[in-house]
């Protein structure tokens, strides 16, 4: 008789993935994206966001775990109106590695 409730999955042990998002640059975009992950208890290990050269767009880098829900997560992110594209990179992508020295 217990209703099915999604429990936060243990994410340690999964490989990491770097997602590269191109988004419209306006206040509110980050909250749309972060909400999706938070609601599903999908841990985001790292976030990096800067405007692109023409300033009307931003690029967001997300470091996440590759658990079995990632596919669905990416589909949900792609549904956001302000998200123009999502690309997937392996954990070896240097964007977060080069920042690590600021987090010790």
Binding site for another protein (CB under 8 A): 1-4, 27-28, 31-32, 35, 39, 71-72, 75-76, 78-82
CB of 5 or CB of 50, closer to another protein: 5
The alpha carbon of 31 is separated from its chain's Cα centroid by a whole number of angstroms, namely: 12
Q: What is the rounded (10 degree) CA torsion for 72, 75, 81, 85?
A: 130
Q: If we measure between CA atoms, which residue out of 84, 81, 64 comes closest to residue 73?
A: 64
CB of 83 or CB of 96, closer to another protein: 83
**Min separation Cβ 82 and another protein, Å:** 8
Q: In this structure, what token pair is assigned to residue 25?
A: 């640059």
**Min separation Cβ 78 and another protein, Å:** 7
CB of 8 or CB of 28, closer to another protein: 28
């Amino acid at each position: 008789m217990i209703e099915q409730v999604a429990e936060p999955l243990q994410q340690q042990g999964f490989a990491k993935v770097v997602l590269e998002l191109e988004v419209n640059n306006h206040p509110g975009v980050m909250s749309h994206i972060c909400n999706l992950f938070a609601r599903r208890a999908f841990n985001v290990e790292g976030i990096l966001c800067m405007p692109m050269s023409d300033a009307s767009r931003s690029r967001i880098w997300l470091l996440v775990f590759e658990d079995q829900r990632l596919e669905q997560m990416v589909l949900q992110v792609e549904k956001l109106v302000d998200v123009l594209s999502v690309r997937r990179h392996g954990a070896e992508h240097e964007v977060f590695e080069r920042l690590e020295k600021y987090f010790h």
